[in-house]
Amino acid sequence: MASTPSSNTTLVGLQFVGMGLIWGASFLFMKIALDGVTFGQVAWSRLVLGGLTLGLIVLARRPRVNGGPVLPREPIVWVHFLVIAITGCLVPHLLFAWAEQYVSSSLASIYNAVTPIMTALMATLAFRVERLARGQAVGVVIGILGVVVIIAPWRYAALTGDLWGQLACLGAAVCYGFTFGYTRKFLSGRPIAGSTFAFMNIGLAGALMLLLTPVLAWQPVQLSWSIVLSLLTLGALGTGLAYIWNINVLRAWGPTNTSMVTYVTPVVGVTLGVLVLAETFSWHEPTGAVLVLFGILLTQKRLRFGPRSRRPLRGSAPVTTP
């Protein structure tokens, strides 16, 4: 029986919520895993396990679009996937894992919420697949102000590990924003099945991690059941199944709307950090988070500022999942 538009919309919505829950919990799992493995091993495990999970799914399903090949054959497509494997997986995963050695899992999840601001900037200025109206520009400025409040530069007499950890989280959000825009411009419109899309993204990043094993993962480990389960969840779910959902939502909703998953992830991340790890906050962190959220609402046109925004650039409409 063919799926209806309403059923497809419901499925995309459920995938969006699932992404938020799994990725929100990933900050807790990283923190737990760091008790027994290095930050490089955390990122290595995520991408290698995620690539294997997605590879098995593609091998079993062998998805095709309009009778085409399972894997794309154009070399330029592989180059594009290599770019987003580096900017959307390898680098930000390393940055977040490194950062959580110095900052709480709750704070890392809050910084992840900056992604829509960075996505709006990249999609507009770098890739020109979307256009910022005046209200959205105001939202970007407010979001950046919120980041400054979270960092609280007045608290640092010198560059401390805590500050560098926060800057690493911010760098990861910039990477995600770049990747959303790059994917939207160069890859979203291509006839590639969602599971294949996710496998090529994560699989290439996992292959790069295997090449970097002597540098990033060849250190002693101290494993426990909680650490093993955290790494498996981060890999198979957070960097496996959730990436298939991410591609489906990205194609259905576009880059800026898809990045709204960061509404959900900080709520989940902060809740788990407080309940499980007994993490606490200073006044400036939730204050800055509120400013970031307000900026995101403006950027996402959930709040209006001034006249109605203009239409997006031609060709930037959401692309449906094949």
- What's the pLDDT tens digit per position in 195-227? 999 999 999 999 999 999 999 999 999 999 999
C-alpha distance across the termini of the chain, in Å: 17
Closest among 237, 296, 303 to 264, alpha carbons compared: 296
Give pTM, 2 decimals.
0.85
Distance CA(263)–CA(260), nearest Å, equals: 6
CB 48 within 8 A of CB 210: yes
Concatenated DSSP letters for 279-291? ----THHHHHHHH
Dig out the tokens for 199 from the structure. 């496998």
Dig out the tokens for 91 from the structure. 């680098």
Mean pLDDT throughout 232-249?
90
Distance CA(173)–CA(23), nearest Å, equals: 13
Query: For 315, left (φ over 0), alpha (ψ -120 to 50), or beta?
Result: left
Radius of gyration for the chain, computed over Cα atoms and rounded to the nearest angstrom: 19
Mean pLDDT throughout 103-111?
93
Local confidence band at 136 (pLDDT 50, 70, 90 cut-offs): confident
- Which pLDDT does position 260 carry in this prediction? 72
- Which pLDDT does position 39 carry in this prediction? 97
Element (H, E) at 7: helix 5-33
Question: In this model, does residue 114 exceed pLDDT 60?
Answer: yes
Q: Give backbone dihedrals phi and psi of 29, rounded to 5 degrees, phi first.
A: -65, -40
Mean pLDDT throughout 138-156?
85
